[in-house]
Every structure is written in C-alpha cells, then in structure tokens.
Amino acid sequence: MPKQKKAPKWYPTEDGPKSLTKTIKKTQKPTKLRSSIVPGTVLILLAGRFKGKRVVFLKQLESGLLLVTGPFKINGVPLRRVNQAYVIATSTKIDVTDVDTSGISDVPDQKTKRHFFSRVVAEAKEENDGEFVAPESKKSGLTEERKAMQAKVDATVTAAVEKTPMMKDYLKSRFSLEKGQYPHLMKF
C-alpha cells in the first residue's frame, strides 16, 4: 500500500497570483417600453400612494420610467415617474400630441446636480433658547418650476380630456376588484 500524503496544517490566504485582465463595464441599455403603452394611453396604477387611480401616460424618461399625470385638477395625481411593472395599460387613449414635456427629465443637471423631480430641502433651524416662537424658515416641498410645469401640462391634457365624452368621469373613478374578479382574465 502506497503511503498517502498528509494534509497541510496551513493554507495560504491567496490562491496564487491573479491575472490582471481588464473588466469591461456593461453599458446600461434603455428600458424597452411595452407595446401596449404609447403616449396618451390611460394607465391604472397598481402600487404606491395613488394605487387604483387612472392616469395618462405622457412619455418615457431617460431612466426608463414612465412620466404620467392625472391630470392633477381631475383626480389629484401630479406629474410622476412610475415603473412600467406597476401599471396596467388600458385600451383607452387620449390625444396628447400638443403636450410639451421637453423640460421634464430625470437626468441630473450638470451645474446644479438636481433634476426635475428633486425636492427642495428645508434649511436646518437654529436653536434659540430665549424665544418661544420659532422664526419662519424655508419649507421643503415642490419647486416653482415643477408647479408651473404641472399647470402647463394639465391645461393641455385637460383640454384633450374634455373633447371625449365621459372621459373626465372615467379618470376620476378608482379601479377596484370585487370578489370573483380576476385581472388576468379581464380585457382592459
């Protein structure tokens, strides 16, 4: 019987010299838009604060997210970014060719490092021990640019909604399911 080699008591922490091959970074491909989603399509939101609301799709942003609006005056949904995995596309369409969404982007600006959907951050308050009333400080919230764009987009989308009878009521109504209704068996 041949003598077997005994296992070593110590193993090296490295497995030997590593080859210095270059790692190639993969470039991010733009997200492919579903064929059922075209500008003007009425979508049903499935998740988030506005779940069950019907919204109008405007365009696909550079990040691959969808830009949608309620319009805010009709059903309270502002300009929002939504992942297409969280929407149901309906067969209802609205003409949104007149809507100007050129100023809306979710890529940060080079100078300010902010994008259209960035929020204004409130300034930190200084503590004053002797005063009971706090001085007025800058509130966080929406920028004036965003409010102006919301009003501009809503005006054109609302005009398009008014042209179709019952469309305003359709966008106001929430989507819900009753017992025994299955969304995968429905035709939207």
- The reported pLDDT for the residue numbered 17 is 66
The DSSP secondary-structure symbol of 185 reads G
170-180 per-position pLDDT tens digit: 999 999 889 99
CA gap 185, 187 in Å, rounded:
7
Question: Going by C-beta distance under 8 Å and a sequence separation of 6 or more, which residues neighbour residue 188?
Answer: 44, 88, 89, 90, 91
pLDDT, tens digit, for every residue of 75-94?
999 999 999 999 999 999 99
**Please, what is the average pLDDT of the chain?**
84
pLDDT in tens, 178-187: 999 998 888 8
Rounded to the nearest 5°, which phi and psi values hold at 120?
-80, 130
The model's pTM is 0.74
Q: Is the confidence at residue 100, as pLDDT, over 70? A: yes
For the segment 19-31, what is each residue's pLDDT rounded down to a tens digit? 667 777 778 787 8
Residue 144: band (very low, low, confident or very high) from pLDDT cuts 50, 70, 90: confident
SS3 (DSSP) at 87: strand
Q: Reading across the β-sheet that carries 80-82, which strands appear in turn?
A: 80-82, 66-69, 54-60, 41-45, 87-93
**Does residue 155 carry a pLDDT above 70?**
yes
Percent of the chain with pLDDT over 70: 84
